[in-house]
Amino acid sequence: DGGITQSPKYLFRKEGQNVTLSCEQNLNHDAMYWYRQDPGQGLRLIYYSQIVNDFQKGDIAEGYSVSREKKESFPLTVTSAQKNPTAFYLCASSILTGYEQYFGPGTRLTVT
Amino acid sequence: GENVEQHPSTLSVQEGDSAVIKCTYSDSASNYFPWYKQELGKRPQLIIDIRSNVGEKKDQRIAVTLNKTAKHFSLHITETQPEDSAVYFCAASRGPGANNLFFGTGTRLTVIP
């Protein structure tokens, strides 16, 4: 399970609070991604980054923010503006010239 | 953007039988089609993938076929075993440099012993 890690595994927050999910990789990958998964659905792209200090919105970026200050790290902040934040969040990484994405173990966020 | 549709949403088979899951995509520029297996609460694991320059790829009991003209691809699992029970996702992307994955909605496969 090494290579790409996410913490914590479970996270609980009250509505109205911002929360930051961690994603770290030691694979020397340039590209990193954040996906959201809801029950019975596929993964949907939130944000991605191909290089340090640069990132792009995916299909469902509203209510989320990211930063990419280091190649190894791509934290995701779920803001209070996200209307339905409870979900399973998956981080992934890949090399720029490669096809395969490697997924982290995920963080299950519950907001009440 | 890309739209990937996946069918069926649930599939039950007897142990030893074959299972087939089908996906269609909309973006003719997509050229990479991976299949992921996800067990409950775990990360998706890549089980097989295919690129648009081939029509079929096999890995032991698993095979994937691709029809670029019709924009559809399928996963075939032969001699199914109980440990094959999981949710399977297809995905599509334009490949390196633009390899954001667009996922289907998943198929829950149950193999009945």
pLDDT at residue B97 in the model: 67
With CA atoms as reference, the chain B residue closest to A89 would be B43
Distances (CA, A) of A51 to A28, A61, A69: 12, 18, 9
pLDDT for the residue B98: 62
Tell me the C-alpha distance between B98 and B105, whole Å: 21
- pLDDT (average), residues B83-101: 88
User: What is the per-residue DSSP string for B65-91?
Assistant: EEETTTTEEEEEE-S--GGG-EEEEEE
Cβ atoms of B41 and B18 closer than 8 Å: no
For residue B108, what is the nearest residue in chain A, using CA coordinates? Answer: A40
List, in sequence order, every residue forming a beta bridge with B76; answer none if it has no partner.
B20, B63
Return the pLDDT at A97: 83
pLDDT (tens digit per residue) in B30-72: 999 999 999 988 999 999 999 988 899 999 999 999 999 999 9
Q: Which of A40, A42, A58 sits opposite B100 (nearest CB)?
A: A58
In one letter, which amino acid is A98? G
User: Per-residue DSSP letters for chain B?
Assistant: ----EEE-SEEEEETTS-EEEEEE---TT--EEEEEEE-TTS--EEEEEEETT-SEEEETTEEEEEETTTTEEEEEE-S--GGG-EEEEEEEB--TTS---EE---EEEEEE-
Residues of A in CB contact (< 8 Å) with B are: 31, 33, 40-45, 48, 58-59, 90, 94, 96-101, 103-106, 108
**pLDDT score, position A39:** 85
* pLDDT for the residue numbered A27: 94
- Count CB neighbours of A104 within 10 A: 24
Burial pattern B41-53, b for ≥16 Cβ within 10 A else e, equals eebbeebbbbebe
Q: How far is CA A78 from the centre of its chain?
A: 10
> Model confidence over A19-45: pLDDT tens digits?
999 999 999 999 999 999 998 788 999
Both tokens assigned to A35: 């996906």
Which of A5-14, A94-103, B62-71 comes out lowest in average pLDDT?
A94-103
Residue pLDDT, tens place only, A68-81: 999 999 999 999 98
Query: Looking at the predicted structure, is the pLDDT value of residue A1 above 60?
Result: no
AA letter at A66: V
